[in-house]
């Protein structure tokens, strides 16, 4: 019995053991299963994020901002990889003076200012220098590292460089501290210039990529370049001549426009005062834009040629029309005078333009109905923006003809009671130079789309005929009398060997309050050469000159310098023909 029951009981215990073990294993496995479910199913995302934080690096690959170049491809604004040098004052405080000495010796930073920053309390982050070219920055940080100091590091800081500083700064605008576009074309064409940043994600160990680790790269798209119609050398020269003209006449501000007669491309658009685009904060805020596009003023006598050419085109007068000019003219409740005292004069229309007689112009314009004059003037582009591409460009003011009274037509005929921007006026006069065809001015070579969705540029510049060829030619002949050495109002604008057509302007200025004239003047000169085959138009305006100068004495010499430079630079030969000598009096 005992011998038989023994194997049975043995088998029983092993069975029990087996079952117990099975249960234990099942329990352990189910614990594992539950944990697995928790790790993979419930907390998976959190752990993945943790793993990523531990080893995965995501870098922004910054897109290179496109350059803005002049018409020849010379950069006016370009982007350079730069670095900022930052300090952790908790680490630098001990060695502040030694570090500051090193930094001040190698970078253009002030020793005492840096010293103060390196010692600043309660912070772990201080800027030491911004927008340092990266080679320079790395060299400095390396030097500090090898000297055994800690707490100085570099970070990316894109540098937007304007190599010619203030040249064309009024058009280009500038960039903010954080590398964002702030003004001018930088802002207007930001979509084109900026490009798209890329990213690089990879696992990192000890400063190196882990091979076969997760790795993905979205390469950045560089911004496109923007080419302007500006010629950098002409722009520079024009800015310097303008500055001299404004300062010599003790004027308040000024503008100069250089335009290619046939294409309407602006070779230069200068404003004074202007600013250094590399350092916009050092200039007053009101100097940061393009006054030539945003500020309106009354053009004065320069506008007379628009009136005269319209009259000729309408067949109402000819350059030889005889006008008898009294010493003053009573109109409604006002009296119109000429800028010089005279008894009764007998001038032809050419004489009226050459001597810039207000009374003569008003009498000639009597041939027009308000509607007729208005139609011509708006066809010349007055009262509408030029759509050159600048957002918020001033449209100027040309009152609707329905509300004109006699006195309005009279003053508008000689350029008062109508307001323009410098670019608008230059484009209007250019229609006469371009044989009666108005060409919309452009600043962008080719074409580009602004942030507002407008496509602008020399390729899409519109043209329209304003005057007949004949009327334009006759007006040009009259304008040549203006630069006549003996008879004209602007002999200083004449250029040896060339035929030059032009017109002076001296206008009363509307005060800052907008309530009537304040006793100051705007003087200007617009002209083109060679008169018998025009290539360039130059328009110079100076606001509030305090030396008593007029359009001929302030604008004339500046015009002369700029035009001489242009004709020489672009090798425009004189045509060899003689200037006309039409009678001014009868």
Partner 1 sequence: MSSPFSSRMPRIAEATVERARLRVVPRRTTRPPRLPFVTLVSLLLVIGVVGLLLFNTSMQQSSFTATALEQEASLLDAEEQSLQMDLDMLRDPQKVAAAAQELGMVPAGSPAFIRLEDGKVLGNPAVAGPDQTMRISPLPTTRPRRLSPDPVILRLPDARRAAR
Write out the DSSP string of 410-457.
HHHHTT-S-BB-HHHHHHHHHHHHTTTEEE--BSBSS-EE-TTS-EES
Both tokens of 39, joined, read: 């790790």
* Residue 330 engages partner 1 in binding (rule: CB under 8 A): no
| 52 and 214 Cβ atoms separated by less than 8 Å | no
Binding mask 224-243 for partner 1 (x = CB under 8 A): --------xx--xx--xx-x
Stretch that binds partner 1, among 36-44, 261-269, 356-364, 496-504 (CB under 8 A): 496-504
Minimum distance from residue 244 beta carbon to partner 1 (Å): 6
Minimum distance from residue 249 beta carbon to partner 1 (Å): 13
Stretch that binds partner 1, among 129-137, 258-266, 349-357, 373-381 (CB under 8 A): 129-137
Q: Where in 543-572 is the site for partner 1 (CB under 8 A)?
A: 561, 564-565, 568, 571
* Residue 282 engages partner 1 in binding (rule: CB under 8 A): no
Backbone dihedral region for residue 131 (phi beyond 0: left; psi -120 to 50: alpha; all else: beta): left
Minimum distance from residue 243 beta carbon to partner 1 (Å): 7
| 552 and 493 Cβ atoms separated by less than 8 Å | yes
| 505 and 351 Cβ atoms separated by less than 8 Å | no
* Angle in degrees, CA 255, 258, 261, rounded to 5: 140
* Residue 74 engages partner 1 in binding (rule: CB under 8 A): yes
Residue closer to partner 1 by CB (options 167, 427) is 167
| CA–CA dist 30, 41 (Å, integer) | 15
Minimum distance from residue 209 beta carbon to partner 1 (Å): 5
* Residue 574 engages partner 1 in binding (rule: CB under 8 A): yes
| CA–CA dist 111, 120 (Å, integer) | 14
Binding mask 510-549 for partner 1 (x = CB under 8 A): ----------------------------------------
| 496 and 503 Cβ atoms separated by less than 8 Å | no
| Given 174, 189, 498, 521, the residue binding partner 1 (CB under 8 A) | 498
How far is the CA of 33 from the CAs of 25, 30, 51, in angstroms?
12, 5, 22
467-496: b (≥16 Cβ within 10 Å) or e: bbeebbbbbbbbbbbbbbeebbbbbbbbbe
| DSSP-derived secondary structure letter, 230 | -
* Residue 284 engages partner 1 in binding (rule: CB under 8 A): no
Residue closer to partner 1 by CB (options 62, 326) is 62
Q: Where in 201-220 is the site for partner 1 (CB under 8 A)?
A: 207-212
How, if at all, do strands 334-337 and 328-331 pair? antiparallel
Residue closer to partner 1 by CB (options 497, 548) is 497
Residue closer to partner 1 by CB (options 168, 363) is 168
| CA–CA dist 83, 581 (Å, integer) | 66
Give the count of alpha carbons within 13 A of 555, CB side only. 34
* Residue 75 engages partner 1 in binding (rule: CB under 8 A): yes
Minimum distance from residue 234 beta carbon to partner 1 (Å): 10
How far is the CA of 574 from the CAs of 329, 513, 537, 578, in angstroms?
42, 47, 15, 10
Minimum distance from residue 298 beta carbon to partner 1 (Å): 28
* Residue 136 engages partner 1 in binding (rule: CB under 8 A): yes
| 402 and 375 Cβ atoms separated by less than 8 Å | no
270 C-beta neighbours (distance < 10 Å), count: 31
Q: Residues touching partner 1: how many (CB under 8 A)? A: 43
Within 8 A by CB and 6+ apart from 518, the residues are 509, 510, 511, 512
Binding mask 156-185 for partner 1 (x = CB under 8 A): -----x-xxx-x------------------
Minimum distance from residue 135 beta carbon to partner 1 (Å): 5
Helices (H), 249-303: 291-294
Binding mask 240-269 for partner 1 (x = CB under 8 A): xx-xx--x----------------------
Stretch that binds partner 1, among 254-262, 366-374, 472-480, 573-581 (CB under 8 A): 573-581
Interaction site with partner 1 (CB under 8 A): 74-75, 78, 80-81, 133-136, 138, 161, 163-165, 167, 207-212, 232-233, 236-237, 240-241, 243-244, 247, 495-498, 561, 564-565, 568, 571, 573-576
């Amino acid at each position: 019995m005992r011998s038989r029951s023994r194997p049975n009981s043995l088998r029983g215990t092993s069975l029990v053991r087996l079952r117990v073990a099975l249960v234990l294993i099942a329990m352990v496995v189910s614990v594992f299963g539950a944990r697995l479910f928790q790790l993979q199913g419930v907390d998976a995302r959190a752990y993945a994020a943790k793993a990523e934080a531990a080893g995965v690096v995501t870098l922004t690959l910054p897109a290179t901002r496109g350059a803005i170049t002049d018409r020849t491809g010379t950069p006016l604004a370009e982007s350079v990889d730069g670095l900022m040098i930052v300090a952790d004052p908790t680490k630098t405080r001990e060695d502040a003076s030694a570090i500051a000495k090193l930094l001040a010796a190698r970078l253009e930073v002030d020793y005492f200012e840096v010293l103060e920053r390196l010692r600043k309390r309660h912070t772990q982050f201080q800027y030491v220098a911004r927008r340092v070219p990266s080679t320079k920055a790395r060299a400095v940080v390396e030097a500090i590292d090898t000297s055994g100091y800690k707490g100085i590091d570099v970070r990316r800081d894109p540098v937007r460089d304007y190599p010619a500083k203030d040249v064309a700064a009024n058009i280009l605008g500038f960039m903010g501290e954080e590398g964002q576009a702030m003004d001018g074309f930088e802002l207007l064409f930001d979509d084109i210039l900026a490009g798209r940043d890329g990213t690089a994600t990879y696992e990192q160990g000890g400063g190196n990529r882990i091979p076969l680790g997760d790795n993905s790269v979205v390469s950045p798209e560089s911004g496109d370049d923007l080419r302007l119609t500006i010629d950098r050398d002409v722009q520079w020269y024009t800015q310097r001549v303008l500055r001299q003209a404004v300062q010599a006449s003790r004027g308040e501000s000024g503008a100069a426009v250089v335009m290619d007669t046939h294409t309407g491309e602006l070779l230069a658009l200068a404003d004074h005062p202007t600013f250094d685009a590399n350092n916009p904060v050092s200039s007053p805020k009101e100097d940061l834009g393009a006054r030539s596009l945003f500020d309106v003023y009354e053009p004065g006598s320069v506008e007379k040629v628009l009136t005269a050419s319209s009259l000729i085109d309408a067949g109402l007068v000819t350059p030889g029309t005889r006008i008898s000019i009294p010493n003053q003219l009573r109109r409604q409740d006002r009296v119109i005078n000429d800028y010089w005292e005279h008894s009764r004069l007998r001038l032809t229309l050419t004489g009226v333009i050459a001597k810039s007689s207000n009374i003569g112009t008003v009498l000639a314009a009597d041939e027009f109905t308000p509607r007729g004059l208005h139609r011509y003037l708006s066809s010349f582009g007055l009262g509408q923006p030029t759509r050159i591409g600048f957002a918020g460009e001033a449209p100027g003011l040309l009152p609707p003809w329905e509300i004109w009274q006699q006195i309005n037509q009279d003053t508008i005929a000689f350029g008062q009671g109508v307001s323009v921007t410098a670019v608008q006026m230059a484009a209007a006069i250019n229609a006469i130079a371009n044989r009666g065809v108005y060409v919309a001015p452009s600043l962008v070579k080719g074409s580009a789309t602004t942030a507002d969705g407008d496509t602008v540029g020399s390729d899409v510049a519109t043209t329209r005929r304003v005057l007949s060829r004949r009327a334009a030619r006759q007006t040009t002949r009259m304008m040549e009398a203006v630069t006549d050495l003996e008879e004209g109002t602007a002999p200083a604008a004449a250029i040896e060997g060339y035929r030059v057509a032009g017109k002076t302007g001296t206008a009363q200025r509307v005060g800052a309050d907008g309530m009537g004239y304040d006793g100051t003047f705007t003087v200007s000169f617009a002209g083109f050469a060679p008169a018998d085959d025009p290539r360039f138009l130059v328009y110079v305006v100076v606001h509030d000159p305090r030396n008593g100068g007029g359009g001929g004495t302030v604008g004339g010499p500046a015009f002369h310098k700029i035009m001489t430079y242009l004709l020489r630079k672009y090798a425009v030969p004189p045509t060899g023909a003689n200037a006309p000598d039409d009678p001014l009096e009868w």
